[in-house]
Amino acid sequence: MTELTALKTDRSGSSTVFTVMLHVILIIGAMIMIAPFLWMVLSSLKQFSQIFLIPPKWIPDPWEWGNYRKSWEALPFGQAYFNSFYIAFISVSCKLITCSMAAYAFAKIRFPFRETIFVLFLATMMVPHQVTIIPLYLMMKGIGWLDSHLSLIVPSALFNAFGVFLLRQFIKSIPDELEEAAIVDGANRWTIYWRIIIPLIKPAIAALAIFTFLSMWNSFFGPLIFLNSPEKFTVPLLLNLFRGMYITDWTLMMAGSAIAVIPVLIVYILGQRYIIEGVTLTGIKG
């Protein structure tokens, strides 16, 4: 009996040590991840002469809160914020509709070569965006959409293999009996999709909406290629204007970056539960 008690004590002690070590590793990892963000915020409150001091000076002295006002007034941030918000909103709305419809078709509707088409559809995820940017640029030029937000919204909203894959995996976890019962009651495909499938995949839809919003808000490469007019710039593209040919005003750039990251933090804080739930549940079946 004594040996059994000692064995349990040893196991409990080992488990405690492992838990403590795991938490220490996670805390160190979290500190490493948050260090660049902390440096950005603190640099935005420094004087320009303090940015590249050796050794680095973390705490600003004095605190230059006026950098945020100067950054906001130096460039048309209000217009850029509006551009980024409405581009992201339209892209999210359209992508949720197109991806959910395609996902429902691939998951529940039987048609010839369904699996083959789906595999080819997923294969597009392996093609880097940089490979297709030149053909896409020529297409946008041919239809007159250069220097237009449509060149950013339409390609992103109408076709997204990741979104279809994410929602398809979730829809496949829905029992077929629900769909069969609806068909017996006289429901058509549209009714099943809208009144049964959509309400049951809300966590996955929320996760996809958050992923899409963050992707569109942080997008720099696409706007850099397609947009030329400053009044049409998005927030990431506008921040690039702080970088001059001979000198970069790092304090204002850091202040602008801190302003730009606020919506991302809000979306992530409010939606992290849906991200975890949506991504986790998509792996339940097939």
pLDDT given at position 28: 92
pLDDT score at 25 = 92
Other beta carbons within 10 angstroms of residue 146's beta carbon come to 15
Question: Which pLDDT does position 12 carry in this prediction?
Answer: 59
* Cα–Cα distance list, 43 to 49, 67, 71, 191, 253 (Å): 11, 10, 13, 54, 9
**Cα–Cα distance for residue pair 248/231, rounded to 1 Å:** 21
Fold adopted by 75-281: MetI-like fold (1.10.3720)
What's the chain look like in SS3?
A: CHHHHHHHHHHHHHHHHHHHHHHHHHHHHHHHHHHHHHHHHHHCCCCHHHCCCCCCCCCCCCCCCHHHHHHHHHCCHHHHHHHHHHHHHHHHHHHHHHHHHHHHHHHHCCCCCHHHHHHHHHHHHHCCHHHHHHHHHHHHHHCCCCCCCHHHHHHHHHCCHHHHHHHHHHHHCCCHHHHHHHHHCCCCHHHHHHHHHHHHCHHHHHHHHHHHHHHHHHCCHHHHHHCCCHHHCCHHHHHHHHECCCCECHHHHHHHHHHHHHHHHHHHHHHHHHHHHHHHHCCCCC
- pLDDT value for 87: 92
d(C-alpha 129, C-alpha 127), whole Å: 6
pTM to 2 decimal places: 0.80
- What's residue 177's pLDDT? 87
pLDDT (tens, 9 = 90+) of the chain, 286 residues, equals 555 455 455 555 567 778 888 889 999 988 898 888 888 888 888 888 888 777 877 888 888 888 888 888 888 888 888 999 999 999 999 999 999 999 999 998 888 888 899 999 888 888 888 888 888 999 999 998 988 999 988 887 777 888 898 889 888 888 888 888 888 888 888 888 898 898 888 888 888 888 888 888 888 888 989 998 888 899 888 888 877 645 677 888 888 888 888 888 888 777 777 666 655 655 444 4
CB 248 within 8 A of CB 51: no
pLDDT at 58 (0 to 100): 80
Q: Which amino acid makes up residue 150?
A: L
Sequence-separated (6 or more) residues with CB below 8 Å from residue 21: none
Close Cβ partners of 147 (under 8 Å, ≥ 6 residues apart): 226, 227, 228, 229, 232
